[in-house]
Structure 1
Amino acid sequence: MPSIDQAREARRAAHWEERQRRQVEARGDAGRADAWWDRARAICKANPELWNDLARTLENWAGRQDSSNGA
């Protein structure tokens, strides 16, 4: 029998997967991005120290896109 933490994590994962499925169905790739934003915010809310890591990741990603698109 799974522990309470394992059951909670399984419910959380199932909820997130269903939310992502619905958002992709409704909005395509933009919905997928929204679902990942929701997940990232939830993770950072649980551990505020991760906001800096998320910000740097986005900064690097945006920088790559800017340079590849000539922006």
Structure 2
Amino acid sequence: NLQAKEAATLTGKTAVIYSKTGSIVLTFKLLSNKVSITVQRLLPGLYILKIGEASDQQVFKMIKM
């Protein structure tokens, strides 16, 4: 599981996980400011997590071992 606590308000925003090739792997709505993502079904590799819309977007790199 991947967990993050963010100071900014995340509730109601959309989160998208992309593969390193840019394909969408997972999309979901955030229900609270505490994000918990089950990543056990993802293959090992590099992923990009984008939270929010273009004008108010946060981007994170994730590495699944």
Normalised-by-shorter TM-score class: under 0.3
The structure with the greater share of residues assigned to strand is 2
TM-score, normalising length from structure 1?
A: 0.23
The structure with the greater share of residues assigned to helix is 1
TM-score, normalising length from structure 2?
A: 0.24
Q: Which protein has the larger Cα radius of gyration, Structure 1 or Structure 2? A: 1
Between the two structures, name the one with larger relative contact order (CA 8 Å, sep ≥ 6).
Answer: 2
